């Protein structure tokens, strides 16, 4: 819970960058050791998978250790935010030190225009300037150009600062691009995905 790791390949598909390293590091932490789990607000995700934080008997927080080592990225899903601040700090430090995934090419920030040009649908970091902010009953769109926007639902709006603050600012959005009709969208559910840059 609170993190995402690159996927190991299966059925002939190649592993994602950094996946094998993440798996091997996790094995060094937990293999043949007793662990216990700690819940947050929700017990399962929408796929029916158990949501939990993993700890060793000595209290070591495994989710946090993976982020600190740079082999996992932050993936906060409100309302499950018990360790959000610690995880955010760990990622900031790993990213600043270019540890693990943060040194790999697929995890470097790219121009938002590449989403449409290359039809990207895998997790990525994209930068642009917010051109305008539009609102509807279901949520808000932060337009990064004429075809790409960040979507923030009404339910998740409370996890962001006032959206008007983003207008005209250079930002980095982290997430999975999806085609929505003629446009491209990245769903943002927590402010840790949408960073204001200098």
- Residue by residue, pLDDT tens for the chain (198 residues) are 999 999 999 888 899 999 999 999 999 999 999 999 999 999 999 899 999 999 999 999 999 999 999 999 999 999 999 999 999 999 999 999 999 999 999 999 999 999 999 999 999 999 999 999 999 999 999 999 999 999 999 999 999 999 999 999 999 999 999 999 999 999 999 999 999 998
At residue 197, the pLDDT reads: 95
Delimit the domains of the chain by residue range. 2-103, 109-196
At residue 12, the pLDDT reads: 85
At residue 156, the pLDDT reads: 97
Fold match flag (2-103 vs 109-196): yes
Q: How far apart are CA 85 and CA 88, in angstroms?
A: 5
Considering the segment(s) 2-103 as one domain, its CATH architecture is Beta Barrel (2.40)
Q: How far apart are CA 32 and CA 28, in angstroms?
A: 9
pTM for this predicted structure: 0.92
Asked if 69 contacts 5 with a C-beta cutoff of 8 angstroms, the reply is: no
Q: How far apart are CA 184 and CA 100, in angstroms?
A: 29
**b/e 18-57 (16+ beta carbons within 10 angstroms → b):** bbebbeebbeeeeeeeeeeeeebeeeeeeeeeebbbbbee
At residue 192, the pLDDT reads: 98
Asked if 135 contacts 152 with a C-beta cutoff of 8 angstroms, the reply is: no
Fold that domain 109-196 belongs to in CATH: OB fold (Dihydrolipoamide Acetyltransferase, E2P) (2.40.50)
At residue 11, the pLDDT reads: 84
């Amino acid at each position: 819970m609170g993190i995402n790791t690159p996927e190991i390949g299966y059925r002939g598909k190649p592993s994602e960058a950094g996946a094998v390293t993440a798996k091997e590091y996790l094995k060094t932490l937990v293999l043949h050791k007793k662990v216990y789990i700690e819940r947050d607000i929700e017990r399962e995700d929408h796929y029916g998978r158990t949501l939990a934080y993993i700890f060793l008997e000595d209290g070591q927080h495994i989710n946090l250790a993976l982020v600190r080592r740079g082999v996992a990225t932050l993936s906060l899903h409100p309302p499950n935010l018990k360790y959000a601040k610690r995880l955010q700090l760990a990622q900031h430090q790993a990213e600043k030190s270019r540890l693990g995934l943060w040194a790999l090419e697929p995890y470097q920030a790219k121009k938002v225009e590449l989403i449409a040009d290359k039809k990207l649908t895998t997790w990525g970091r994209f930068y642009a300037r917010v051109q305008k902010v539009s609102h509807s009953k279901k949520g808000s769109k932060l337009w990064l150009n004429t075809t790409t926007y960040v979507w923030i639902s009404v339910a998740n709006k409370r996890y962001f600062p006032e959206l008007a603050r983003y207008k005209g600012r250079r930002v980095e959005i982290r997430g999975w691009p999806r085609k929505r009709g003629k446009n491209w969208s990245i769903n943002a559910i927590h402010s840790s995905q949408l960073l204001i840059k200098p």
